[in-house]
Structure 1
Amino acid sequence: MQVPPRSGRFYPRLKARVLRDDVSTFVPGYQATLKSQDFCTTIKTNSLGFRERELFEAGEPSQPPVLFIGDCIFMGYGVEEQERVSNQLADIARARGVSQAVINLSFIGWRTNNYYSCLTNFCESLKPQSIVIGIYAGFEFGAVVRPARAREQLKKT
Structure 2
Amino acid sequence: MAIVKHIKSRNANYSDALNYLIFQHDESTGKMILDEFNRPLRRDELYVNGLNCNPDTFDVECYECNEHFKKNRSRSEIKSHHYIISFDPDDKSECGLTGEKAQALSLELAKKIFPGYQALIVTHTDGHNGSGNIHTHIVINSVRKEAVRRQSYM
Same fold (TM over 0.5): no
Q: Which protein, 1 or 2, shows the higher relative CO under an 8 Å CA cutoff with sep ≥ 6?
A: 2
What TM-score does the superposition give when structure 1 sets the normalisation length? 0.29
What TM-score does the superposition give when structure 2 sets the normalisation length? 0.30
